[in-house]
Amino acid sequence: MFIYSKWFILLIMKRLDHSPTLTTILRVEAVLKQAKEPLRIAEIKRRLPKQVNHYTIKRILQYLEESKKISFSLKGISWRFDYGS
């Protein structure tokens, strides 16, 4: 039987608590679509109308990358999905 510290359990619970809502996903998509150059995560956070947790943004970006809507480069994150194709 394992005995975990309170800190460890709280850390795991905190990480599991960052499921993004559809509204937040759409807001992040809008920020990336409107950007004229690649953005860093910090800049995405600044451009969002409401404060969003760092882990939530990372989960959204992971989803968008897996669905081939964004690409990561050395300069930052940029929108690449075209609805017409």
- Higher-pLDDT residue of 16 and 1 is 16
Average pLDDT over residues 67-85: 88
Dump the DSSP string for 31-79. HHHH-SS-B-HHHHHHHSSS---HHHHHHHHHHHHHTTSEEE-SS-EEE
For 20-79, CATH gives 1.10.10.10
Tell the burial category of 56 from Cβ atoms under 10 Å away from its Cβ (0-12, 13-18, 19+): middle
- Higher-pLDDT residue of 6 and 20 is 20
By three-state DSSP, how is residue 80 classified?
A: coil
Tell the burial category of 35 from Cβ atoms under 10 Å away from its Cβ (0-12, 13-18, 19+): middle
> What confidence category does residue 1 fall into, taking pLDDT thresholds of 50, 70 and 90?
very low
